[in-house]
Every structure is written in structure tokens, then in C-alpha cells.
């Protein structure tokens, strides 16, 4: 009997991470690999749970330790974002749309990375390249993931490939753009009601730079002003996470999807580096008009700010 291969995304999973894993495992099964199963690397957020319920798709198994596992990774390729003990796993493939990270499998593997808005776009493409039409449920998984990661195709990360794939999947999934807006509202409502710690961690990723590790959380809201009265509480949670995780700096990207802009809330050391490359802080925050993407817009600035370990902070 062949060992089980798990398709799994990053910690603090978002909709693209979970739904891409589900759809890719389904594709592998339809190609004759019955030992491939989807997994998740954490609890589902409100948006993802809503999507799975709507399309009648079971919640994937939660994978907490990668030791000795055969894995296909989706939506990440950095050690800090992966399942615990990823260095002791057998990584078979990586399907990704972010920067090249620090995971280094011991042998040659399939590694597919493109600058698109969602990993689900690449997974959907594989269905059609193999001549397989996604079922309604899998089309729904892929479409929801694309809408989620591209903020309903409004993010600057959105590519023509994302738009074309979304259009192709809509008819199969039986939903239209209104469903994408429902998803966004679920995410926004949930974020406003969550505890400060959950709010920071729900869409949180840690990045390794030469100067140290920087944690970046992102929360997407229809009206960013709903967090104004909770800033002190949220900043206390940011400082606690920074200390417990040994971070150089922690940033919360509060994105107003209606205005198409973000406020960056910053705590930690190296503030001069941040200001030099991102912008001057006022009361620990900076307003960034047009900023909606952590991957495409913020991360390159942080890379420039923290790429030199010896530069003065």
C-alpha cells in the first residue's frame, strides 16, 4: 500500500491555502493517485469555513507535525510558514505564487511558481492541461480561492490569468461575483469581532531577513475605522506576539478594501530601517494609499529595509 501524500498549505491558513490543497488533492486522485489527501496547517477562518459549507466540502485533516510525512506544498515555500518540523518531511512538489523562500528539499522536485494572484489559478490550469473539468465543488474551491486572494480581482496582484480562470470557473461553480462579496463580508465581520490575538494571527506570516524575522499580519475590512477604538488592545497583543516569537518587528496591515488603502501598524526595533524604506511613522503607523497586497507591495519594501544584517537600525 502506498504511503499517504498530504497536500498542505501554510500555517494560519487562508482560503487559497486550504482550497488549493483540496482541489489539487482531488486532481491527483482523478489522475489515479488515490493516496493523495488534502490537509490544513491550522484552524479554518470564517471565510474559508463559509466557502466549504456552501459547496458541501468536508474540512481537511489538520496536520500539526511534518516529521516523516510525504508532502505536496501549496501557497508557500518558506520554513517559517510551514508545518512544524518541515525539515524532516519528504517534500515531493511545491505549487506557489510568492517569492522564493528558504525551503531546500534534498533532491529534485516539481517546483512551480508564477506571479499570479492565487495558487488556485495554477491548480485550475493543471485541471485543464490534463483535460479534466473540475466538478462544481472543486470549481467553487478554486474560484473562491482566487476571489479571496485577489480581493475579488481588485488587488494589484491580479493577473490576466487569474481573471480568465475566474471567468472559466464561474459557470461550473454556479455562483457569481455576488458570492465573492459575501465572502469578503464574512471575512470583514469576523475580523471585527475576533479577539486581538486572533485578529493578528488569522492571516499572519513570518518572514526571514538578514536582519531578523519580521511578522506581518493582514486584516481586510470594509471599513477600517471599526478597529479604531481597539488599537491599544491590538498593539498590546502585537507586542506580546513579538516577544514570544522572537521577532525583530511585527506589522499589522489593516486594509480598507472599500478605499483601496492600508494602514501599517508597527511595533518593535529597526523603526529607522522601516521608515527609510516604507515611510515615516506617526503614532506607530503609516497610511499607504493604494496598498492592498502584502506580497506584491509591502514585502519588497521590507526586503529592502531588512536585507542587510549589519546596517544600523
Residues 255-269 have a mean pLDDT of 93
Q: How far is CA 43 from the centre of its chain?
A: 13
Task: Give the pLDDT confidence score for residue 148 in this predicted structure.
Answer: 95
pLDDT higher than threshold 60 for residue 33: yes
Q: How confident is the model at residue 258 (pLDDT cuts 50, 70, 90)?
A: confident
d(CA 127, CA 123): 7
For 39-88, what is each residue's pLDDT tens digit? 999 999 999 999 999 999 999 999 999 999 999 999 999 999 999 999 99
Task: Give the pLDDT confidence score for residue 310 in this predicted structure.
Answer: 64
pLDDT higher than threshold 70 for residue 312: no
pLDDT higher than threshold 80 for residue 201: yes
Q: Would you say the CATH fold of 195-306 matches that of 5-184?
A: no
CATH 3.90.1640.10, applies to 5-184: yes
DSSP symbol at 118: -
Helix or strand run (H / E) with residue 238: helix 231-245
pLDDT higher than threshold 80 for residue 145: yes
Grid coordinates belonging to 188: 470583514
Task: Tell me the CB-side half-sphere exposure of residue 66, using CA atoms within 13 A.
Answer: 25
CA angle 43–48–49, rounded 5-degree value: 75
Percent residues over pLDDT 90 in the chain: 85
For 217-257, what is each residue's pLDDT tens digit? 999 888 878 888 899 999 999 999 999 999 999 999 999 98
Q: Identify the CATH number of the domain defined by range 195-306.
A: 3.10.310.20
CB 288 within 8 A of CB 262: yes
pLDDT higher than threshold 60 for residue 36: yes
Q: What is the pTM (predicted TM-score) of this model?
A: 0.84
Q: How far is CA 114 from the centre of its chain?
A: 15
Task: Give the pLDDT confidence score for residue 264 in this predicted structure.
Answer: 97
For 289-301, what is each residue's pLDDT tens digit? 999 999 899 999 9
d(CA 193, CA 123): 33
- Taking only Cα atoms into account, the Rg of the chain, rounded to an integer number of angstroms, comes to 19
pLDDT higher than threshold 90 for residue 4: yes
Domain boundaries, the chain: 5-184, 195-306
The average confidence (pLDDT) of the chain is: 94
Whole-angstrom CA distances from 181 to 96, 148, 300 are 25, 10, 29
CA angle 205–16–59, rounded 5-degree value: 105
Amino acid at each position: 500500500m502506498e504511503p499517504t501524500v498530504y497536500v498542505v498549505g501554510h500555517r494560519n491558513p487562508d482560503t487559497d491555502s486550504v482550497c488549493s490543497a483540496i482541489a489539487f488533492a482531488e486532481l491527483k486522485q482523478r489522475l489515479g493517485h488515490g493516496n493523495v489527501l488534502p490537509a490544513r496547517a491550522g484552524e479554518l477562518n470564517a471565510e474559508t469555513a463559509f466557502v466549504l459549507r456552501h459547496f458541501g466540502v468536508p474540512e481537511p485533516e489538520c496536520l500539526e507535525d511534518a516529521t516523516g510525512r510525504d508532502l505536496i506544498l501549496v501557497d508557500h515555500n518558506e520554513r517559517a510558514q510551514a508545518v512544524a518540523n518541515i525539515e524532516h518531511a519528504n517534500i515531493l512538489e511545491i505549487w506557489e505564487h510568492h517569492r522564493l523562500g528558504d525551503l531546500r528539499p534534498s533532491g529534485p522536485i516539481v517546483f512551480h511558481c508564477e506571479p499570479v494572484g492565487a495558487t488556485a489559478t495554477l491548480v485550475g490550469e493543471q485541471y485543464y492541461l490534463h483535460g479534466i473539468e473540475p466538478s462544481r465543488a472543486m470549481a467553487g474551491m478554486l474560484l473562491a480561492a482566487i476571489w479571496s486572494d485577489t480581493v475579488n480581482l481588485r488587488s494589484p496582484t491580479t493577473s490576466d490569468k487569474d481573471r480568465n480562470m475566474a471567468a472559466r470557473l464561474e459557470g461550473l461553480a454556479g455562483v457569481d461575483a455576488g458570492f465573492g462579496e459575501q465572502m469578503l463580508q464574512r471575512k470583514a465581520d469576523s475580523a471585527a469581532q475576533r479577539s486581538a490575538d486572533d485578529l493578528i494571527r488569522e492571516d499572519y506570516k513570518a518572514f526571514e531577513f538578514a536582519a531578523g524575522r519580521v511578522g506581518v499580519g493582514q486584516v481586510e475590512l470594509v471599513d477600517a475605522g471599526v478597529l479604531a477604538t481597539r488599537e491599544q488592545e491590538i498593539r498590546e497583543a502585537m507586542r506580546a506576539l513579538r516577544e514570544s516569537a522572537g521577532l525583530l518587528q511585527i506589522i499589522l496591515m489593516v486594509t480598507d478594501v472599500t478605499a483601496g488603502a492600508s494602514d501599517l501598524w508597527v511595533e518593535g526595533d529597526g523603526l529607522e530601517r522601516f521608515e527609510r524604506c516604507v515611510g515615516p511613522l506617526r503614532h506607530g503607523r503609516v497610511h499607504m494609499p493604494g496598498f492592498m497586497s502584502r506580497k506584491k507591495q509591502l514585502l519588497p519594501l521590507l526586503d529592502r529595509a531588512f536585507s542587510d544584517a549589519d546596517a544600523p537600525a
